[in-house]
Amino acid sequence: MEKPIAFEMKGITKTFGSVVANNNVDLTVYRGEILAILGENGCGKTTLMNMIAGIYCPDAGTITIGGEVVSIRSPKDAFLHGVGMIHQHFKLVDLFTAAENITLGINDGERYDIRKVSSDVQAIADKYGFIVDPSKKIYDMSVSEKQTVEILKVLYRGADILILDEPTAVLTPQETQKLFDVLRRMREDGKSILIITHKLHEVMAISDRVAVLRRGEHIATVETKETTPEQLTEMMVGKKVSLNIDRPEPENVAERLIVKSLNLTSPDGIKILEDISFVANAGEILGIAGIAGSGQRELLETIAGLKTLDSGEIIFHRPKKNLPVSFYHKTFAQVVELAQEGKFHYEDGTLVDFSGMRHSQIRALVNAGKVLFNEDEIMDLCDKTPLQIRELGVRLSFVPEDRLGMGLVGNMDIIDNMMLRSYRRGPSMFVDRKAPSDLADRIVADLEVMTPNTHTPVRRLSGGNVQKVLVGREIAAAPTVLMAAYPVRGLDINSSYTIYRLLTEQKKRGVAVIFVGEDLDVLLELCDRILVICAGRVSGILDGRTATKEEVGLLMTKTDVDVIETEGGEC
């Protein structure tokens, strides 16, 4: 049965400077279907959708809606043609209610009657099975409720063609299921739904057809029933990719970083972290799962010394047992004091006793590497600044969530970005650009960073390459603890797997890896243990090899009775 055509794009081309975002794309969408737009990051999915929604204007090509060639020059035009887009980042007024947000910007010449709007909104919601309270303020809403309001806003304006840009990125598995139910009901009502995503299992679950884009070109549109995730990946990437993540058994596991009842309050007095305790082991990947914004970022930033905590302990075990003492991170006086406390031994096992020795003798012994530690060093990292942590000799590497806003400087070239960690080295008042330049060359070669040269500002690189530069630099510091927050966010499949491989390599080297992720499938395949965080609390720590997605999903939204009472059940 041939369904009626909702809209058609023909020969759409859009360029930004020398970058071709879309090249001669043809796309047909029928009424009453869910079409998934699949493709790696930077392949032009969002650009293409933005042209239907009136945010960009195509350089060439035509858009036909309802059999008529249209020129969509603004989101308003798009609405007139029944096209509505739900963006990744919500555009709502926090202080307004749902109904007020929905009616905002509509000027149909009629009297403003919020009660009528509310009842209309309720009617639409009931029709498709949304759960919404039109009089609830946005700031009281959870992420999934806000998304509901965004979708209702578009429906209220009479959109027949809905575009959803990565709608599930912020949802738990359970919420995703609910959203999909609603989308199916809308399909039955004859609406056309385009859903942008890069999660293959969701594509398989929800869509009728899949359009695959690669490097701005439309590769194919296939029936979902007649394809497999492997085939789709091959179309997306252009070659066969193994979708398995290697997870070797942890070796030489030892406690490395111990976090004890950490509490953190934001400057406005909101509790962000509450009583967080966990241990990150050397030779293991500890995954952190949770709904976005549950305190993951703050947790890592606190450990890295960027935030001052209210209370709690961060203890670092520095692997020093049977390793020589040096003056690199300790003063002469500190060494003598520790020797007096009986903390060092010689190779033959006898305790070190410096009493009666001259300074030069002690120095000679230490510099010759004869003096060894009895035990691992235990260090308190609480209330230390990042610089102090480094001066203690703790090699803590951190790949922050905000790559260009925190991890790197966008306007600086790759070499200068390499220098961020190392520029202080040496007594000279001038910076040494030779070593960073070599490092940059090495990282570009080893990690296959696509860049004209190492003098290119990193903001010009694509997301995946930016991340390779950042991860490469952090790993080059030979860390003992490596923390990575959403390191594959926005990366294509190939780059993502490169990052997973790098993390696993570090784990094999005995690094304690902490990985904050959003894709549960990946967390379950990559991590040895998974810590689930919900509203700033640890709701559970699971074994990565035995845990199921449902278990993790439940813990992500687990709320104690007292939490519900005091905070109104935020998640």
Partner 1 sequence: MEKFKAFCKKAWACIKNGTGKACSAVKDFISEPPFHVVKRAQISTKKAMLIRLIAIVAALLLCSLLSAVLIGANPIKFITTLFDGAFGSTRRIWKLAKDTAVLLCISLAVTPAFRMRFWNIGAEGQTLMGALAAAAVAHYLGGKMPNGVLLLLMFVAAVIVGAVWGGIPAIFKAKWNTNETLFTLMMNYIASGIVAYFLLLWTPSGSSVLGELPHGHMPSIINDYFPLIVAVLILTVLLFVYLRYAKHGYEISVVGESENTAKYVGINVGKVIVRTMLISGAICGIAGFLIVSALDHSVSETTVGGLGFTAIMASWLAKFNPLIMIGSSLFIVFLNQGANQITTTFNIASAFPDMVVGIILFFIIGCEFFINYSLKRTEKTKKEDA
Interface with partner 1 by CB under 8 A: which residues? 15-19, 57, 59-60, 62, 64, 67-69, 71, 73, 304-306, 385-390, 398, 400, 402, 404-412, 416, 419-421, 423-424, 428-431
Q: Which of 42, 43, 53, 40 is nearest to 9 (CA)?
A: 53
HEC profile for 487-504? CCCCCCHHHHHHHHHHHH
Residue 189 or 383 with smaller CB distance to partner 1: 383
**Cβ of residue 423: shortest distance to partner 1, in angstroms?**
6
Q: Are strands 377-380 and 311-318 parallel, antiparallel or unpaired?
A: antiparallel
18 versus 355: smaller Cβ distance to partner 1: 18
CA separation for the pair 342, 334 (Å, rounded): 13
Task: Output the smallest distance, CB 542 to partner 1, in A.
Answer: 30
Nearest distance from C-beta of residue 241 to partner 1, angstroms: 29
Coil, strand or helix at 559: coil
Shortest Å distance, C-beta 400 to partner 1: 6
Nearest-angstrom CA–CA distance, 115 and 156: 14
Token digits for 323? Answer: 């390793």
- At its nearest, how many Å lie between partner 1 and the CB of residue 385? 6
Q: What is the DSSP string of 90-135?
A: ----TTSBHHHHHHTT---SS---HHHHHHHHHHHHHHHT----TT
Angle between helices 114-128 and 143-156 in degrees, nearest 10: 100
**How far is the C-alpha of 508 from the C-alpha of 284, rounded, in Å?**
8
Question: What is the secondary structure of 214-278 as a DSSP string?
Answer: ETTEEEEEEEGGG--HHHHHHHHHSS----PPP-PPP-S-EEEEEEEEEEEE-TTS-EEEEEEEE
Question: Which is closer to partner 1, CB of 15 or CB of 494?
Answer: 15
Closest separation in Å from C-beta 334 to partner 1: 21
Amino acid at 381: L
What is the rounded distance in angstroms from the CA atom of residue 489 to the CA atom of residue 482? 17
Q: How far apart are CB 28 and partner 1 at their closest, in Å?
A: 15
> Looking at beta carbons only, is 241 or 431 nearer to partner 1?
431
Comparing CB distances to partner 1, the nearer of 17 and 109 is: 17
Please identify, using beta-carbon distances, which residue of 419 and 556 lies nearer to partner 1: 419
Which of residues 57 and 270 has its CB atom nearest to partner 1 in the complex? 57
Burial 101-125 (b: 16+ CB within 10 A, else e): bbbeeeeeeeeeeeeebbebbbeeb
| Distance separating alpha carbons of residues 257 and 481, to the nearest angstrom | 8
Task: For the CB of residue 407, give the shortest distance to partner 1 in the complex, in Å.
Answer: 7
Whole-number minimum distance, CB 301 to partner 1, in Å?
Answer: 9
59 versus 274: smaller Cβ distance to partner 1: 59
In the bound state with partner 1, the residue whose beta carbon lies nearer, of 11 and 238, is 11
**Under a CB-based contact definition with an 8 Å cutoff, are residues 180 and 122 in contact?**
no
Instruction: Using the minimum distance from each CB to partner 1, give the nearer residue, 215 or 247.
Output: 215
Work out how close the CB of 299 gets to partner 1 at its nearest, in angstroms, rounded to a whole number.
15
